[in-house]
Structure 1
Amino acid sequence: MRKLVPIVAVLAAACSPEAGSDEADATVDVPQLSEARLKEMTQTLSSDEFEGRAPMTPGETKTIEYLAQQMEAAGLQPGNDGSWFQEVPLVEMSVDEDSADIELSGEGLEETTLAYGDDQVIWTKRIQPNVGVQNSELVFVGYGIVAPERGWNDYEGIDMAGKTAVILVNDPDWETEELEGDFNGRAMTYYGRWTYKYEEAARQGAAAALIIHDTEPAAYGWATVESSWSGPQIDMDREDGGSERVAIEGWLQKDAAEMILGASDQSLDELTERAQSGELTPMPLGVSMTASLENDIRRGMSNNVIGILPGSERPDEYVLYTAHWDHLGRCAPGEEDEICNGAFDNATGTAGLVELGRAHAEAGPADRSLIFLAVTAEESGLLGSAYYAENPVYPLSQTVGGLNMDGLNVYGQTRDVVVIGAGKSELEGYLEEAVLAQDRRIDVESSPEKGYYYRSDHFSLAKKGVPMLYAEGGVDLVEGGSERGQQLADDYTENRYHLAGDEYDADWNWDGAVEDLQLNFRIGRELANSEEWPNWNEGDEFRAVREESRQAAGSQ
């Protein structure tokens, strides 16, 4: 689900000096990975034949069978008790778009319709054929955050039962330049993610929750909202049927939100400023919403694909590589090109996963076991990795750490490497050594407000305590520099991210992808031949759960 990281501006190599070792440096023979195989796998996975690789479709069947064949040919072994696959129970719900308009009523509005697609996109996580709200009062709740440890409560003093929360995207201090503030300054916290906002609205007892879309703090345009949240929506097939979620979740076009607020004699800019200051209390808008959804429900199984290279000395200790194989499937029904092929996102990363498996297999077994996990349903909310984290094939307490790949650099070699969520774990020490060996530098991401850390599969494992590294080539191109890198980053974001234009390009330059994969090979190999157990840094939110899991493993 990631986009190219924009130009980095500040040099910051956050790392642990204890991580890595000179001895490991000397023993790692970094291979020359095959550009030809990367191209072939990426082109195959992103071809129209694979139909955009949506879970629970014929495209999935072709994808997972192809990946199992490629992993076997690479020299890996089936990773789930003799099988290449881990079943992941999912449910798909398709909204009847003709049923999905929102009817508003209130002073200054009379009766106003917000059209599905143009003005709003709504859905439900409740696994029911018919879901709706009737005359639900809209309440503006700022950023929709309840954070007692930060002295912040956007819902203070209001009973949200039966009401609809209208919420700003991101968190309050995303526009600041520094990385310090109530919500880590410019760096997004989990409170800024749309997933959190819907979850919190449900905890507050709301009937519905609508997030106001704004391109810069959301980090994508309205076209991405339409393509990502319309059409069939996939979720975990939960035992409670999604009953704990609000009845209706969705996005509001910014113009539609301004119209609603204007009818209440309110200004979105002024309310946003007050919400950022923490002075705003929940504000009923004098407008009510009626909406109903008719859903076609289909249950089924998707699959994670798992390969393993067993360790020779400590096979019950594991180093993990992850990438998601899925994409959006058919994303623009009725258009001339309706397939979202997902070539960059994430056929490239999946190809890289298999090629790393081949490189490790050719190098021979490491001391620890190496796991290669291609997960499903990342684009639907990190569902495949979340399922693995809840139902691990290999104990997470025995998983040393991991590396995630979500889109490879196909624009040429870069002088920089960017750490997503820098400063979190001791794995960054291993990265620093590998980067120095390539005569490159480590830079921080220049747009931490966009929350890339929470938008790919490493996050599912991190929440369970497993140290996970998410690093990739930056955009300071060896040929073209930062200006050219910025142009390419912007072009991808605006014209191809989660759109039908994300297709394989024979003119891509794979030198950067190969170089970045060599970094990941080296780091994984050092971890696998080491006896160290890298931890999260002191003060990190995931350190406590990691230490608890390791202590539990030691007591068994």
Structure 2
Amino acid sequence: MLARLTCGVAASAMLLLALPAVAQDFSAQRLSDHIKYLSDDSLEGRFPGKVGEQMTLAYLQAQYEAMGLQPGGPDGQWLQPVDLLRLTPARPATVSWTGADGVVHPVEAGLMVRAGAADGHVKLDNLPIVFAGYGVVAPERNWDDYGTMDLTGKVVIVLNGQPETFGADPNFYGSSTHKVNEAIKRGAAGVITLYEMQGGRGMRGGTRPRMTITGAHETAFSGVMTLDAATALATASGEDIQAVLTAAKAGGAFKAQDIGLKLNVDTDEVAEVIHSHNLLAKIPGTTRPDEYLVYSAHWDHVGVAADPDANGDRIFNGAWDNASGTSGVLEMARAFKAGPPPERTVVFLHVTAEEQGLLGSEWYAAHPVYPLEKTAADINIDMLPFTPATKTIAIFGIGKSELEDDLERLAQRDGRHVVGDGEPEQGYYYRSDHFNFAAGGVPALMPWTGVDFVEGGEAVGRPYYQAQMAKYYHKLDDEWRADYDFTAALQNLKLLYQLGQEVADSTSWPQWKPTSEFAAIRRESDAARR
């Protein structure tokens, strides 16, 4: 890449003269210094509610104050309080079903339930059981598993995943977010996910603590069911399980159906509130201050291991994940502060508890400081690339929004291109904080590590990246290193700044592509942007 830039410096200079002013001062040294502090042992893995949170937020606030940014949180504060809820089973849950003859049948295996985000106590009897296929409602794809079904006071069983006709790679309709939202709209008391493989998935989670947020958009309880347990219910209701599943997967005429049985649930969990925080800074817009662009990153990591490794290390320092992205947002703010004032307000959001299930961004989406309908875009930075120069900038969820087309146009000026992450089957777009913006309708972009290196191409780049992931991702070895290669990180930050500058100064609104599953959500708030 450096060779290309050297050879084309005159042409590049001419192009830049025609562009809006671009702050080029992204510093590898400053990125390294931020990461070094944020991943220090003294922060104990930056777990929410612990000493690492206090130290992290104090550091971020001090950096923004030194830059001259304004607090961006509620009521002119830097911090947005986030109440996390940790639920720990106090005893094994008791689950049974009642047949048409009134006989109660205890469920000994194959069904695990957890309390929702209330007080941890759930005792519900005689809940009618409904099977709703995938539990998907996607009008633009001519798929509706519910029809007119009312779920008030009922429990709904839904298949894991999504219809085959939606494609092999995961999308929003296969997510628990979509399925729970649809169940809640219809009044469901509980949602149970059916995994078809023998033994099911997630059954070990019945005794472990889980984290959510207080007041989360959840049913009174949720559960996981194996195929064996579902077969027993189908048999009791006079149905053949395979015939039922085949009909549900075909869609079309299939609609949710009451199977004629009742479920009884009794579970007790200890609920502990953990007080955490998101941090926000902002640069007010000059002409449209009530319209917003958000740069986001999660500041947290996973804390301290129960047992030390062979070297006595117990701290998950989280240098790459996500001290690097946190540092990237800090430096993005510095670039905006040094550049021309934006016309829209630019918000720099550092969220908590991503590692516990995207909880800080979920809280923000449920309690937005700035209206989601007036938020033009979210650009989320989770793990900067630590690689040599790349010919590509990878993004998650390629094909979803116009933001990637604008990014491609900007990348081409540097001889680079936008590509997918190469692992669409992993559904990464639904696994970082931008997802909660997308689920709220906001066009959201998530860059990732490109593996097509300027020197050596993918033959060198892909194994380089794979080796990094294997060695550092969620490992105790993810510590600050003096030999980070920030070349690709600086390339990407420059492009993400240029993209954000365009969004911040535009009078138009980035759009989801018509095929995106989030387009319909955004259309619901179109009137607010006219």
TM-score range, shorter chain: 0.7 to 0.9
Query: Displacement, 1:56?
Result: 3.3
When residues 368 and 203 of structure 1 are mapped into structure 2, their CA distance, relative to the original with a 3 A threshold, is: closer
What amino acid is aligned across from residue 532 of structure 1 in structure 2?
Answer: T
- Worse-superposed segment, 134-143 or 67-76: 134-143
Query: Displacement, 1:99?
Result: 1.8
Separation in 2, partners of 1:207, 1:161: 7
**Does residue 471 of structure 1 match 2:440?**
no
Paired residue for 1:375, among 338, 351, 357? 351
Q: Which residue does the alignment assign to 1:416?
A: 392
What amino acid is aligned across from residue 260 of structure 1 in structure 2?
Answer: A
Residue pair 2:111, 2:229 contacting (<8 A) in 1 also: no
Residue pair 1:319, 1:524 contacting (<8 A) in 2 also: yes
Q: Which residue does the alignment assign to 2:9?
A: none
Residue pair 2:388, 2:488 contacting (<8 A) in 1 also: yes
Query: Displacement, 1:288?
Result: 8.3
Alignment gaps of 5+ in structure 2: 1-13, 100-104
What amino acid is aligned across from residue 325 of structure 1 in structure 2?
Answer: W
When residues 394 and 163 of structure 1 are mapped into structure 2, their CA distance, relative to the original with a 3 A threshold, is: closer
CA RMSD, 1 decimal: 4.5
Q: TM (normalized to structure 2)?
A: 0.75
Paired residue for 2:160, among 166, 169, 189? 169
Q: Which residue does the alignment assign to 2:249?
A: 276
Paired residue for 2:181, among 184, 196, 199? 199
Separation in 2, partners of 1:412, 1:250: 45
Separation in 1, partners of 2:375, 2:87: 37
**Does residue 504 of structure 1 match 2:479?**
yes
User: Alpha-carbon deviations, 1:377-406, whole Å to 9, x = none?
Assistant: 444554443544555445556644442212
User: Alpha-carbon deviations, 1:301-330, whole Å to 9, x = none?
Assistant: 432212223456665654331222234445
Query: Displacement, 1:146?
Result: 3.5
SS of residue matched to 1:322: strand
Q: Which residue does the alignment assign to 1:71?
A: 64
Q: Which residue does the alignment assign to 1:428?
A: 404
Residue pair 2:145, 2:254 contacting (<8 A) in 1 also: yes
Residue pair 1:304, 1:375 contacting (<8 A) in 2 also: yes
Query: Displacement, 1:409?
Result: 1.6
**Does residue 99 of structure 1 match 2:68?**
no
Paired residue for 2:229, among 260, 263, 277? 260
Paired residue for 1:308, among 282, 285, 298? 282
Q: Which residue does the alignment assign to 2:528?
A: 549
Residue pair 2:213, 2:363 contacting (<8 A) in 1 also: no
Query: Displacement, 1:469?
Result: 3.0
Query: Displacement, 1:198?
Result: 2.8
- Worse-superposed segment, 348-357 or 309-318: 309-318
Q: Which residue does the alignment assign to 1:532?
A: 507
Q: Which residue does the alignment assign to 2:5?
A: none
SS of residue matched to 1:516: helix
Query: Displacement, 1:352?
Result: 0.7
Alignment gaps of 5+ in structure 1: 1-20, 174-180, 552-556
User: Alpha-carbon deviations, 1:197-218, whole Å to 9, x = none?
Assistant: 2333444554433334589xx9
Paired residue for 1:358, among 294, 315, 334? 334
Residue pair 1:166, 1:212 contacting (<8 A) in 2 also: yes
**Does residue 233 of structure 1 match 2:211?**
yes
When residues 459 and 132 of structure 1 are mapped into structure 2, their CA distance, relative to the original with a 3 A threshold, is: same
Query: Displacement, 1:131?
Result: 1.9
Residue pair 1:464, 1:545 contacting (<8 A) in 2 also: no
Residue pair 1:316, 1:398 contacting (<8 A) in 2 also: yes
What amino acid is aligned across from residue 352 of structure 1 in structure 2?
Answer: G
Q: Which residue does the alignment assign to 2:191?
A: 209
Query: Displacement, 1:235?
Result: 0.8
> How many residue pairs get matched?
498
Query: Displacement, 1:520?
Result: 0.9
User: Alpha-carbon deviations, 1:420-458, whole Å to 9, x = none?
Assistant: 344444433431232112211122454445443343333
**Does residue 45 of structure 1 match 2:38?**
yes
When residues 159 and 549 of structure 1 are mapped into structure 2, their CA distance, relative to the original with a 3 A threshold, is: closer
Q: Which has the higher contact order (CA 8 A, sep 6+)?
A: 1
Q: Which residue does the alignment assign to 1:86?
A: 79
Paired residue for 1:144, among 135, 141, 146? 135
Q: How does 1:331-350 map to 2 (within 5 A)?
A: 333=306, 341-350=317-326
Paired residue for 2:361, among 385, 392, 414? 385
What amino acid is aligned across from residue 293 of structure 1 in structure 2?
Answer: T
- Which protein shows a greater Rg? 2
What amino acid is aligned across from residue 296 of structure 1 in structure 2?
Answer: V
Query: Displacement, 1:66?
Result: 1.7
What amino acid is aligned across from residue 234 of structure 1 in structure 2?
Answer: T
When residues 370 and 148 of structure 1 are mapped into structure 2, their CA distance, relative to the original with a 3 A threshold, is: closer
Identity of aligned residues (%): 33
When residues 387 and 443 of structure 1 are mapped into structure 2, their CA distance, relative to the original with a 3 A threshold, is: same
